Structure 1
Amino acid sequence: MSYWAEFLTIATYHLLAVASPGPDFAVVTRYSLSYGRKVGAYVSLGIAAGIILHVTYSLVGVAIIIKQTQWLYAAILTAGALYLAYMGVGALQSKPKPAPNTHEYDPQRPSERRAFMTGFITNGLNVKATLFFLTLFTVVISPETPFTWQMGYAVYLIIATGIWFLFLSRVLSSERVFKRVWRYMHWVDRLMGLLLIGLAVHLLVDVLSELKIIA
Protein backbone atom coordinates (compact mmCIF):
# COMPACT_ATOMS: atom_id res chain seq x y z
CA MET A 1 0.00 0.00 0.00
CA SER A 2 1.23 3.51 -0.79
CA TYR A 3 1.23 5.35 2.53
CA TRP A 4 2.41 8.52 0.78
CA ALA A 5 -0.95 8.70 -1.01
CA GLU A 6 -2.68 8.33 2.35
CA PHE A 7 -0.48 11.07 3.76
CA LEU A 8 -1.37 13.44 0.92
CA THR A 9 -5.07 12.81 1.56
CA ILE A 10 -4.59 13.59 5.25
CA ALA A 11 -2.60 16.73 4.45
CA THR A 12 -5.33 17.96 2.10
CA TYR A 13 -8.12 17.36 4.61
CA HIS A 14 -6.09 19.04 7.33
CA LEU A 15 -5.41 22.13 5.22
CA LEU A 16 -9.11 22.53 4.50
CA ALA A 17 -9.94 22.05 8.17
CA VAL A 18 -7.50 24.59 9.62
CA ALA A 19 -8.24 27.19 6.92
CA SER A 20 -11.99 27.12 7.56
CA PRO A 21 -13.46 29.54 10.14
CA GLY A 22 -13.82 28.06 13.58
CA PRO A 23 -12.86 28.61 17.25
CA ASP A 24 -9.10 28.38 16.58
CA PHE A 25 -9.28 30.83 13.69
CA ALA A 26 -11.43 33.27 15.69
CA VAL A 27 -9.15 33.22 18.75
CA VAL A 28 -5.94 33.70 16.77
CA THR A 29 -7.53 36.55 14.83
CA ARG A 30 -8.75 38.31 17.94
CA TYR A 31 -5.55 38.00 19.97
CA SER A 32 -3.21 38.81 17.09
CA LEU A 33 -5.09 41.97 16.13
CA SER A 34 -5.71 43.11 19.69
CA TYR A 35 -2.42 42.28 21.40
CA GLY A 36 0.18 41.85 18.69
CA ARG A 37 2.42 39.24 17.12
CA LYS A 38 3.96 37.80 20.28
CA VAL A 39 0.64 37.07 21.97
CA GLY A 40 -0.79 35.74 18.70
CA ALA A 41 2.23 33.45 18.36
CA TYR A 42 1.76 32.00 21.85
CA VAL A 43 -1.94 31.41 21.16
CA SER A 44 -0.93 29.63 17.94
CA LEU A 45 1.59 27.44 19.78
CA GLY A 46 -1.08 26.59 22.33
CA ILE A 47 -3.41 25.48 19.54
CA ALA A 48 -0.66 23.29 18.08
CA ALA A 49 -0.07 21.76 21.52
CA GLY A 50 -3.80 21.07 21.79
CA ILE A 51 -3.51 18.87 18.69
CA ILE A 52 -1.36 16.53 20.81
CA LEU A 53 -4.45 15.71 22.88
CA HIS A 54 -6.50 14.84 19.81
CA VAL A 55 -3.87 12.66 18.14
CA THR A 56 -3.13 10.87 21.44
CA TYR A 57 -6.68 9.74 22.13
CA SER A 58 -7.18 8.97 18.43
CA LEU A 59 -4.11 6.74 18.33
CA VAL A 60 -5.23 4.77 21.39
CA GLY A 61 -8.86 4.55 20.25
CA VAL A 62 -10.42 6.72 22.97
CA ALA A 63 -12.13 8.95 20.38
CA ILE A 64 -14.36 6.04 19.37
CA ILE A 65 -15.33 5.45 23.01
CA ILE A 66 -16.15 9.17 23.43
CA LYS A 67 -18.35 9.15 20.34
CA GLN A 68 -20.16 5.98 21.42
CA THR A 69 -20.72 7.14 25.02
CA GLN A 70 -23.58 9.62 24.70
CA TRP A 71 -23.34 11.33 28.10
CA LEU A 72 -19.55 11.74 27.85
CA TYR A 73 -19.75 13.11 24.34
CA ALA A 74 -22.52 15.53 25.39
CA ALA A 75 -20.45 16.65 28.40
CA ILE A 76 -17.47 17.43 26.20
CA LEU A 77 -19.67 19.33 23.75
CA THR A 78 -21.17 21.33 26.63
CA ALA A 79 -17.77 22.16 28.13
CA GLY A 80 -16.54 23.34 24.75
CA ALA A 81 -19.67 25.43 24.17
CA LEU A 82 -19.48 27.11 27.58
CA TYR A 83 -15.81 27.97 27.10
CA LEU A 84 -16.49 29.49 23.67
CA ALA A 85 -19.40 31.48 25.11
CA TYR A 86 -17.19 32.73 27.95
CA MET A 87 -14.57 33.99 25.49
CA GLY A 88 -17.27 35.44 23.26
CA VAL A 89 -18.82 37.47 26.07
CA GLY A 90 -15.38 38.80 26.98
CA ALA A 91 -14.75 39.83 23.39
CA LEU A 92 -18.11 41.62 23.18
CA GLN A 93 -16.99 43.85 26.06
CA SER A 94 -13.99 45.15 24.11
CA LYS A 95 -13.54 48.93 24.32
CA PRO A 96 -12.17 51.34 21.68
CA LYS A 97 -8.42 51.91 21.85
CA PRO A 98 -7.60 55.62 22.27
CA ALA A 99 -4.40 55.55 20.22
CA PRO A 100 -2.21 53.07 18.38
CA ASN A 101 0.36 51.32 20.54
CA THR A 102 3.02 48.63 20.32
CA HIS A 103 0.87 46.20 22.35
CA GLU A 104 3.73 45.73 24.80
CA TYR A 105 2.31 48.24 27.29
CA ASP A 106 -1.36 47.41 26.94
CA PRO A 107 -2.59 46.80 30.52
CA GLN A 108 -5.08 44.22 29.23
CA ARG A 109 -2.42 42.34 27.28
CA PRO A 110 -2.37 38.70 28.46
CA SER A 111 0.84 37.04 29.57
CA GLU A 112 2.58 34.53 27.30
CA ARG A 113 1.44 31.70 29.59
CA ARG A 114 -2.18 32.85 29.52
CA ALA A 115 -2.08 33.28 25.73
CA PHE A 116 -0.63 29.76 25.33
CA MET A 117 -3.26 28.24 27.63
CA THR A 118 -6.02 30.09 25.78
CA GLY A 119 -4.93 28.47 22.53
CA PHE A 120 -4.44 25.06 24.19
CA ILE A 121 -7.86 25.01 25.88
CA THR A 122 -9.61 26.39 22.81
CA ASN A 123 -8.26 23.61 20.62
CA GLY A 124 -8.56 20.94 23.31
CA LEU A 125 -12.28 21.71 23.69
CA ASN A 126 -12.79 22.24 19.97
CA VAL A 127 -15.33 19.57 19.06
CA LYS A 128 -14.76 20.34 15.39
CA ALA A 129 -11.20 19.09 15.91
CA THR A 130 -12.46 16.06 17.84
CA LEU A 131 -14.75 15.02 15.00
CA PHE A 132 -12.01 15.69 12.44
CA PHE A 133 -9.54 13.38 14.16
CA LEU A 134 -12.21 10.78 14.84
CA THR A 135 -12.98 10.65 11.12
CA LEU A 136 -9.31 10.76 10.18
CA PHE A 137 -8.21 7.84 12.32
CA THR A 138 -11.27 5.66 11.72
CA VAL A 139 -12.10 6.33 8.06
CA VAL A 140 -9.18 7.88 6.19
CA ILE A 141 -6.31 6.00 7.82
CA SER A 142 -6.34 2.31 6.99
CA PRO A 143 -6.24 -0.23 9.85
CA GLU A 144 -3.25 -1.78 8.06
CA THR A 145 -1.23 1.45 8.30
CA PRO A 146 1.80 0.79 10.55
CA PHE A 147 1.83 2.60 13.88
CA THR A 148 5.09 4.34 12.95
CA TRP A 149 3.38 5.90 9.95
CA GLN A 150 0.42 6.93 12.08
CA MET A 151 2.84 8.59 14.50
CA GLY A 152 4.40 10.36 11.53
CA TYR A 153 0.98 11.62 10.50
CA ALA A 154 0.41 12.86 14.04
CA VAL A 155 3.71 14.75 14.16
CA TYR A 156 2.93 16.34 10.80
CA LEU A 157 -0.53 17.46 11.94
CA ILE A 158 0.90 19.08 15.08
CA ILE A 159 3.68 20.90 13.20
CA ALA A 160 1.49 21.91 10.26
CA THR A 161 -1.17 23.32 12.58
CA GLY A 162 1.44 25.37 14.42
CA ILE A 163 2.96 26.69 11.21
CA TRP A 164 -0.42 27.68 9.77
CA PHE A 165 -1.56 29.63 12.81
CA LEU A 166 1.86 31.21 13.36
CA PHE A 167 1.69 32.40 9.76
CA LEU A 168 -1.85 33.69 10.28
CA SER A 169 -0.90 35.54 13.47
CA ARG A 170 2.13 37.07 11.75
CA VAL A 171 0.05 38.35 8.84
CA LEU A 172 -2.69 39.74 11.07
CA SER A 173 -0.23 41.48 13.39
CA SER A 174 1.89 43.00 10.62
CA GLU A 175 2.40 46.76 10.73
CA ARG A 176 0.39 47.29 7.55
CA VAL A 177 -2.64 45.43 8.86
CA PHE A 178 -2.31 47.00 12.31
CA LYS A 179 -2.28 50.55 10.94
CA ARG A 180 -5.36 49.83 8.87
CA VAL A 181 -7.52 48.24 11.55
CA TRP A 182 -6.37 49.58 14.94
CA ARG A 183 -9.20 52.14 15.05
CA TYR A 184 -11.70 49.33 14.55
CA MET A 185 -10.11 46.64 16.70
CA HIS A 186 -12.90 46.78 19.27
CA TRP A 187 -15.36 46.02 16.45
CA VAL A 188 -13.15 43.15 15.28
CA ASP A 189 -13.16 41.86 18.86
CA ARG A 190 -16.93 42.14 19.02
CA LEU A 191 -17.33 40.39 15.66
CA MET A 192 -15.12 37.55 16.87
CA GLY A 193 -17.18 37.49 20.05
CA LEU A 194 -20.38 37.05 18.07
CA LEU A 195 -18.74 34.28 16.05
CA LEU A 196 -17.62 32.47 19.21
CA ILE A 197 -21.08 32.79 20.79
CA GLY A 198 -22.65 31.57 17.56
CA LEU A 199 -20.38 28.53 17.60
CA ALA A 200 -21.28 27.95 21.26
CA VAL A 201 -25.00 28.02 20.46
CA HIS A 202 -24.43 25.61 17.58
CA LEU A 203 -22.62 23.21 19.91
CA LEU A 204 -25.39 23.40 22.51
CA VAL A 205 -27.95 22.58 19.81
CA ASP A 206 -25.79 19.56 18.95
CA VAL A 207 -25.86 18.56 22.65
CA LEU A 208 -29.64 18.71 22.71
CA SER A 209 -29.77 16.70 19.51
CA GLU A 210 -27.39 14.08 20.93
CA LEU A 211 -29.58 13.75 24.03
CA LYS A 212 -32.69 13.65 21.81
CA ILE A 213 -34.17 16.64 23.63
CA ILE A 214 -34.99 18.24 20.31
CA ALA A 215 -35.81 16.57 17.03
Structure 2
Amino acid sequence: MTWSSYGSYLIFVILVVLAPGPDTVVTLKNSFAGGFRGGLLAAAGIAVGNIVQGTAVALGLGTLIVQSQPVFHTLRWLGVAYLCYLGVQAIRMAWRGDYSGLAEAGNRSSAFRRFREGFFSNITNPKVLALYLSVLPQFLDPVHAGPFEALLLAYTVAVLGSLWLFVLLLFVNRVRAWLSRRKVRRALDSVSGATLIGFGAVLAAEG
Protein backbone atom coordinates (compact mmCIF):
# COMPACT_ATOMS: atom_id res chain seq x y z
CA MET A 1 0.00 0.00 0.00
CA THR A 2 1.40 3.37 -1.05
CA TRP A 3 0.93 6.74 0.64
CA SER A 4 -1.12 7.80 -2.38
CA SER A 5 -3.58 4.95 -1.96
CA TYR A 6 -3.74 5.59 1.79
CA GLY A 7 -4.51 9.25 1.09
CA SER A 8 -7.39 8.22 -1.17
CA TYR A 9 -8.59 5.90 1.55
CA LEU A 10 -8.51 8.74 4.10
CA ILE A 11 -10.71 10.91 1.89
CA PHE A 12 -13.21 8.08 1.52
CA VAL A 13 -13.26 7.37 5.26
CA ILE A 14 -13.78 11.03 6.12
CA LEU A 15 -16.84 11.13 3.84
CA VAL A 16 -18.21 7.98 5.44
CA VAL A 17 -17.57 9.24 8.97
CA LEU A 18 -19.28 12.57 8.31
CA ALA A 19 -22.46 10.86 7.09
CA PRO A 20 -25.00 10.71 9.97
CA GLY A 21 -25.71 7.20 11.21
CA PRO A 22 -26.67 5.24 14.34
CA ASP A 23 -23.28 5.94 15.96
CA THR A 24 -23.83 9.69 15.69
CA VAL A 25 -27.37 9.54 17.06
CA VAL A 26 -26.44 7.25 19.97
CA THR A 27 -23.55 9.53 20.93
CA LEU A 28 -25.74 12.64 20.82
CA LYS A 29 -28.54 10.90 22.72
CA ASN A 30 -26.16 10.06 25.56
CA SER A 31 -24.65 13.52 25.46
CA PHE A 32 -28.10 15.12 25.85
CA ALA A 33 -28.81 12.90 28.86
CA GLY A 34 -25.39 12.58 30.50
CA GLY A 35 -23.47 15.65 29.42
CA PHE A 36 -20.04 15.66 27.80
CA ARG A 37 -18.91 12.66 29.86
CA GLY A 38 -21.99 10.65 28.91
CA GLY A 39 -21.44 11.28 25.22
CA LEU A 40 -17.74 10.53 25.55
CA LEU A 41 -18.47 7.17 27.16
CA ALA A 42 -20.88 6.25 24.37
CA ALA A 43 -18.29 7.32 21.79
CA ALA A 44 -15.68 5.15 23.56
CA GLY A 45 -18.02 2.15 23.33
CA ILE A 46 -18.53 2.84 19.62
CA ALA A 47 -14.75 3.06 19.11
CA VAL A 48 -14.24 -0.32 20.79
CA GLY A 49 -16.99 -1.81 18.62
CA ASN A 50 -15.31 -0.42 15.51
CA ILE A 51 -11.96 -1.84 16.59
CA VAL A 52 -13.47 -5.28 17.22
CA GLN A 53 -15.22 -5.38 13.84
CA GLY A 54 -12.22 -3.95 12.01
CA THR A 55 -9.90 -6.49 13.63
CA ALA A 56 -12.26 -9.33 12.70
CA VAL A 57 -12.22 -8.26 9.05
CA ALA A 58 -8.45 -7.67 8.95
CA LEU A 59 -7.81 -11.15 10.35
CA GLY A 60 -10.29 -12.85 8.04
CA LEU A 61 -13.04 -13.54 10.57
CA GLY A 62 -15.43 -10.99 9.08
CA THR A 63 -15.78 -13.01 5.87
CA LEU A 64 -16.77 -16.09 7.86
CA ILE A 65 -19.47 -14.14 9.69
CA VAL A 66 -20.96 -12.69 6.51
CA GLN A 67 -20.83 -16.03 4.67
CA SER A 68 -22.60 -17.76 7.56
CA GLN A 69 -26.15 -16.60 6.87
CA PRO A 70 -27.65 -17.69 10.24
CA VAL A 71 -24.93 -15.79 12.16
CA PHE A 72 -25.16 -12.72 9.92
CA HIS A 73 -28.96 -12.52 10.08
CA THR A 74 -28.95 -13.09 13.84
CA LEU A 75 -26.51 -10.20 14.18
CA ARG A 76 -28.66 -8.04 11.93
CA TRP A 77 -31.86 -8.68 13.89
CA LEU A 78 -30.06 -8.07 17.17
CA GLY A 79 -29.01 -4.71 15.72
CA VAL A 80 -32.59 -3.95 14.66
CA ALA A 81 -33.94 -4.84 18.10
CA TYR A 82 -31.31 -2.84 19.95
CA LEU A 83 -31.72 0.31 17.86
CA CYS A 84 -35.49 0.15 18.30
CA TYR A 85 -35.03 -0.42 22.04
CA LEU A 86 -32.85 2.69 22.34
CA GLY A 87 -35.32 4.64 20.23
CA VAL A 88 -38.28 3.65 22.37
CA GLN A 89 -36.32 4.59 25.50
CA ALA A 90 -35.65 8.07 24.13
CA ILE A 91 -39.29 8.57 23.11
CA ARG A 92 -40.50 7.42 26.53
CA MET A 93 -38.18 9.94 28.16
CA ALA A 94 -39.55 12.68 25.89
CA TRP A 95 -43.13 11.64 26.66
CA ARG A 96 -42.54 11.71 30.41
CA GLY A 97 -40.51 14.91 30.26
CA ASP A 98 -39.02 14.23 33.68
CA TYR A 99 -35.37 15.29 33.67
CA SER A 100 -35.03 15.90 37.38
CA GLY A 101 -32.67 12.96 37.81
CA LEU A 102 -30.05 14.18 35.38
CA ALA A 103 -27.76 15.19 38.24
CA GLU A 104 -27.21 11.51 38.93
CA ALA A 105 -26.08 10.81 35.37
CA GLY A 106 -22.44 10.45 36.41
CA ASN A 107 -22.74 7.45 38.72
CA ARG A 108 -20.99 4.19 37.93
CA SER A 109 -23.97 2.22 36.64
CA SER A 110 -25.00 5.06 34.34
CA ALA A 111 -21.43 5.37 33.03
CA PHE A 112 -21.31 1.66 32.16
CA ARG A 113 -24.76 1.87 30.54
CA ARG A 114 -23.65 4.70 28.26
CA PHE A 115 -20.50 2.83 27.21
CA ARG A 116 -22.60 -0.30 26.67
CA GLU A 117 -25.12 1.54 24.48
CA GLY A 118 -22.33 2.78 22.23
CA PHE A 119 -20.64 -0.60 22.04
CA PHE A 120 -23.73 -2.69 21.35
CA SER A 121 -25.23 -0.25 18.84
CA ASN A 122 -22.02 -0.59 16.82
CA ILE A 123 -21.16 -4.26 17.31
CA THR A 124 -24.68 -5.41 16.38
CA ASN A 125 -24.69 -3.35 13.18
CA PRO A 126 -23.59 -5.72 10.37
CA LYS A 127 -23.43 -2.77 7.96
CA VAL A 128 -20.17 -1.77 9.68
CA LEU A 129 -18.78 -5.24 9.03
CA ALA A 130 -19.99 -5.17 5.42
CA LEU A 131 -18.38 -1.75 4.93
CA TYR A 132 -15.00 -3.05 6.06
CA LEU A 133 -15.32 -6.13 3.85
CA SER A 134 -16.26 -4.15 0.75
CA VAL A 135 -13.81 -1.27 1.14
CA LEU A 136 -10.59 -2.65 2.60
CA PRO A 137 -9.79 -5.05 -0.30
CA GLN A 138 -9.97 -2.14 -2.76
CA PHE A 139 -7.02 -0.44 -1.05
CA LEU A 140 -4.91 -3.52 -0.34
CA ASP A 141 -2.52 -5.32 -2.66
CA PRO A 142 -3.77 -8.93 -2.66
CA VAL A 143 -0.23 -10.21 -3.24
CA HIS A 144 1.91 -8.14 -0.88
CA ALA A 145 -0.50 -6.77 1.75
CA GLY A 146 -0.39 -8.37 5.17
CA PRO A 147 -2.38 -8.14 8.40
CA PHE A 148 -0.56 -4.94 9.43
CA GLU A 149 -1.83 -2.99 6.40
CA ALA A 150 -5.36 -4.33 6.88
CA LEU A 151 -5.34 -3.41 10.57
CA LEU A 152 -4.01 0.07 9.74
CA LEU A 153 -6.93 0.70 7.39
CA ALA A 154 -9.46 -0.73 9.84
CA TYR A 155 -8.18 1.28 12.82
CA THR A 156 -8.13 4.44 10.71
CA VAL A 157 -11.92 4.24 10.60
CA ALA A 158 -12.11 3.90 14.39
CA VAL A 159 -9.74 6.83 14.98
CA LEU A 160 -11.36 9.24 12.52
CA GLY A 161 -14.83 8.22 13.67
CA SER A 162 -13.88 8.93 17.28
CA LEU A 163 -12.39 12.32 16.37
CA TRP A 164 -15.58 13.34 14.57
CA LEU A 165 -17.77 12.29 17.50
CA PHE A 166 -15.47 14.22 19.84
CA VAL A 167 -15.92 17.38 17.74
CA LEU A 168 -19.70 16.93 17.89
CA LEU A 169 -19.53 16.55 21.67
CA LEU A 170 -17.52 19.76 21.99
CA PHE A 171 -20.19 21.61 20.03
CA VAL A 172 -23.03 20.12 22.09
CA ASN A 173 -21.18 21.06 25.27
CA ARG A 174 -20.89 24.67 24.10
CA VAL A 175 -24.67 24.97 23.70
CA ARG A 176 -25.55 22.84 26.74
CA ALA A 177 -27.44 25.64 28.50
CA TRP A 178 -29.87 25.89 25.61
CA LEU A 179 -30.12 22.12 25.19
CA SER A 180 -30.96 21.71 28.88
CA ARG A 181 -34.30 23.51 28.49
CA ARG A 182 -37.15 21.09 29.04
CA LYS A 183 -38.93 21.77 25.74
CA VAL A 184 -35.70 21.49 23.79
CA ARG A 185 -34.74 18.25 25.54
CA ARG A 186 -38.12 16.72 24.85
CA ALA A 187 -37.84 17.65 21.18
CA LEU A 188 -34.30 16.28 20.93
CA ASP A 189 -35.25 13.02 22.64
CA SER A 190 -38.25 12.64 20.32
CA VAL A 191 -36.15 13.22 17.21
CA SER A 192 -33.28 10.97 18.32
CA GLY A 193 -35.72 8.22 19.32
CA ALA A 194 -37.59 8.36 16.01
CA THR A 195 -34.29 8.43 14.11
CA LEU A 196 -32.96 5.35 15.91
CA ILE A 197 -36.18 3.46 15.20
CA GLY A 198 -35.89 4.60 11.58
CA PHE A 199 -32.33 3.24 11.35
CA GLY A 200 -33.60 -0.02 12.82
CA ALA A 201 -36.37 -0.21 10.22
CA VAL A 202 -33.88 0.41 7.39
CA LEU A 203 -31.59 -2.29 8.74
CA ALA A 204 -34.54 -4.72 8.93
CA ALA A 205 -35.64 -3.91 5.38
CA GLU A 206 -32.17 -4.62 3.97
CA GLY A 207 -32.48 -8.31 4.75
> TM-score, normalized by length of structure 2?
0.86
Which residue of 2 is the match for residue 188 of structure 1?
A: 188
Whether the 8 Å CA contact 1:77–1:203 is kept in 2: the answer is yes
The answer to whether the 8 Å contact 2:44/2:115 transfers is yes
What CA distance in whole angstroms lies between the structure 2 residues aligned with 1:161 and 1:178? 22
Matched residue, 1:36: 35
Stretches (4+) displaced over 3 A: 103-110
Q: Determine which structure has the larger helix proportion and give its number.
A: 2
CA 1:97–1:62 in structure 2 vs 1: closer, same or farther (change >3 Å)?
A: same
Matched, 1:120 2:119: yes
Q: Distance in 2 between matches of 1:168 and 1:142?
A: 35
Q: CA deviation at 1:150?
A: 2.5
Cα deviation digits, residues 113-169 of structure 1 (max 9, x gap): 221111111111122312211112233333232332223323333222222212212
AA aligned to 1:56 is: T
Whether the aligned pair in 1 keeps the contact of 2:42 and 2:117 (CA below 8 Å) is yes
> What secondary structure does 1:173 align onto?
helix
Letter in 1 for 2:97: P
2:25 partner letter: A
Greater shift, 40-49 or 120-129, is seen at 120-129
Match of 2:97 in 1: 96
* Alignment correspondent of 1:48: 47
- Please report how far the alpha carbon of residue 173 of structure 1 lies from its aligned counterpart in structure 2 after TM superposition: 2.2
- Distance, in Å, in 2 between the alignment partners of 1:185 and 1:34 is 9
Equivalenced residues, count: 202
- Give CA deviations for 1:81-134 in whole Å, capped at 9, x if unaligned: 0110110110111133568x9x54459996222211111111111223122111
Tell me, yes or no, if structure 1 residue 203 matches structure 2 residue 196: no
Q: Contact between 1:43 and 1:115, CA under 8 Å: does it hold in 2?
A: yes
What pairs up with 1:122-161 in 2 under 5 angstroms?
Answer: 122-143=121-142, 144-161=144-161
CA distance in 1, matches of 2:35, 2:55: 31
1:196 CA displacement: 0.8
Partner Cα separation in structure 1 for residue 48 and residue 13 of structure 2: 16
What residue in structure 2 maps to residue 213 of structure 1? Answer: none
Q: Distance in 2 between matches of 1:54 and 1:206?
A: 20
Correspondence for 1:85: 84
Q: Is the 8 A contact 1:50 1:123 kept in 2?
A: yes
- Output one character per residue of 1:39-86: Cα deviation in whole Å (capped at 9) or x when no partner: 111111111111111111101222222222222221111111011011
Percentage identity across aligned positions? 25
Q: Matched residues in 2 for 1:77 and 1:9: separation?
A: 30
Counterpart CA distance in 2 for 1:204 and 1:78 is 7
Distance 1:109 1:90, change over 3 A: farther
